Amino acid sequence: MYAELSIRPVTLKQFIQLGQPPHNTSALLESARYTKSELPVRLARRIKALQKLPFIVGTNPYIKKVYQLYFDSFELICNFPEITEEKTDEKFADMLAQIVANHSENIPTLAKGFQECKKYMPAQDITSFLDDMINARIGIRLIAEQHISLHNARDPNVIGIIDSQTSPARLIQSCANWVRELCEGHYGSSPEIIIDGQIDTTFTYVPVHLEYIISEVLKNAYRATVEYSSKIKRNHHPQIVATISKGENNIGIRIRDQGGGVAPEDLPSIFDYSFTTVPQDEDSHADVDNILSNVSRRAMQTGLGGPIAGLGYGLPLARIYATFFGGSLNLISLHSYGCDLFLRLNDISKSFGNLRI
């Protein structure tokens, strides 16, 4: 029944209004009631989509695990009592936080499941299913996390998951520090990063989305740079350069590396699910997964699901997050030299009333 109901999209403007002022009990209860009524409909649609998969795919243990998580979450929210006062809302927010934590590894789990089942479904059907699943998942998590975040309001610039002073330079540096440590731990060295352009830029955005995208892009750039240095016997790694620009309504970020670029025959596939340049023999696959697991866990803690080295979901996911609010992510490769990745993001304060979740 729930799966047949229409979803009720919410605009970012409504998200902002529900969070002002930070401790407005009436607004919190309104947010809770919307969340409690809307999430079961969206969860039911995901459950139905999973049920429609070919039988042999649906019985895969990884995909079955994701199905069970969606079903359990649906029941928990449906069976939660009506929210009429602050104490009940606090319990509801706590339950939502646990649900978000339970779903933190859904994307890696689905990736493993479809990796095992790819011979049972046409590639285009898998792509279509995953596009719908991931976009729906983003909407579900944004609604849940917005309500959870409203209970922890401390910074007047931050309303729920939206930060009106998101700093690309600060976020790039934070992600670079994290990836550099992992790179040095695995390879024994790492390139430096330069952040230039309009480094004082701030804009209104959902920081955890940008953190996921930047972490994935930098992970690729660092790995490619170090491995290409080894291949051509460079004594020193060239720097990675992140350039920030700001237009009237958009933010641009270009990340340039000298990691050898993408082979021409691979270039058409870089945004395909399951495509990866990581060696697929068993040992190297496990090794890369382990080395980058901290980045994965870091992004998963934000509710996004982390980079999946060796499974080929990193760039496709990064592009979905980039385009969710009308942005774009494109890559230009010069084989035997390096890559320029161009990220364009909308300042969402310019279109609050139009952006729907």
Nearest-angstrom CA–CA distance, 346 and 267: 26
CB 246 within 8 A of CB 346: no
Nearest-angstrom CA–CA distance, 195 and 190: 16
CB 151 within 8 A of CB 257: no
Is 357 within a domain?
A: no
Nearest-angstrom CA–CA distance, 165 and 157: 6
Of 159, 186, 203, which residue sits at a domain end? 159
Looking at the structure, do residues 151 and 275 belong to the same domain, yes or no? no
Looking at the structure, do residues 38 and 80 belong to the same domain, yes or no? yes
Of 91, 125, 159, which residue sits at a domain end? 159
Is 55 within a domain?
A: yes
Looking at the structure, do residues 134 and 195 belong to the same domain, yes or no? no
What 248-251 contacts at long range (C-beta under 8 Å, 24+ apart), as own/partner pairs, is: 249/346, 249/347, 249/350, 249/351, 250/327, 250/344, 250/345, 250/346, 250/347, 251/168, 251/201, 251/203, 251/205, 251/344, 251/345, 251/346, 251/347
CATH of the domain at 337: 3.30.565.10
Looking at the structure, do residues 153 and 178 belong to the same domain, yes or no? no
Looking at the structure, do residues 267 and 335 belong to the same domain, yes or no? yes
Is 42 within a domain?
A: yes
- Give CA separation, 253 vs 52, 170, 194, 247, 345, in Å: 39, 13, 13, 11, 8
Give the sheet arrangement for strand 328-334, strand by strand: 193-197, 240-246, 250-257, 338-346, 328-334
- Nearest of 271, 8, 304 to residue 138 by alpha carbon: 304
Nearest-angstrom CA–CA distance, 339 and 238: 13
Looking at the structure, do residues 343 and 203 belong to the same domain, yes or no? yes
Looking at the structure, do residues 54 and 178 belong to the same domain, yes or no? no
User: Residue 49 belongs to what domain range?
Assistant: 2-159
Looking at the structure, do residues 177 and 305 belong to the same domain, yes or no? yes
Nearest-angstrom CA–CA distance, 278 and 320: 21
pLDDT at 273: 84
CATH of the domain at 134: 1.20.140.20
Is 68 within a domain?
A: yes
Of 124, 159, 194, which residue sits at a domain end? 159
Q: Is the peptide bond before 316 cis (omega within 30 degrees of 0)?
A: no
Is 31 within a domain?
A: yes
Is 72 within a domain?
A: yes
- In a structure prediction context, what are the per-residue pLDDT tens digits for the chain, which is 357 residues long? 788 888 888 877 777 776 665 456 788 898 899 999 999 999 999 999 999 999 999 999 999 999 999 999 999 999 999 999 999 999 999 999 999 999 988 988 998 899 899 899 998 999 999 999 999 999 999 999 989 988 877 777 888 888 999 999 999 999 999 999 989 988 999 999 999 999 999 999 999 999 999 999 999 999 999 999 999 999 999 999 999 999 999 999 999 999 999 999 999 999 988 776 666 554 444 443 443 344 444 443 333 333 434 467 889 999 999 999 999 999 999 999 999 999 999 998 887 667 778
Looking at the structure, do residues 108 and 82 belong to the same domain, yes or no? yes
Looking at the structure, do residues 149 and 221 belong to the same domain, yes or no? no
pTM of the model: 0.86
pLDDT at 284: 41
pLDDT at 235: 93
Nearest-angstrom CA–CA distance, 219 and 216: 5
Looking at the structure, do residues 59 and 199 belong to the same domain, yes or no? no
Specify the number of domains making up the chain: 2
Is 325 within a domain?
A: yes
Is 356 within a domain?
A: no
Looking at the structure, do residues 62 and 130 belong to the same domain, yes or no? yes
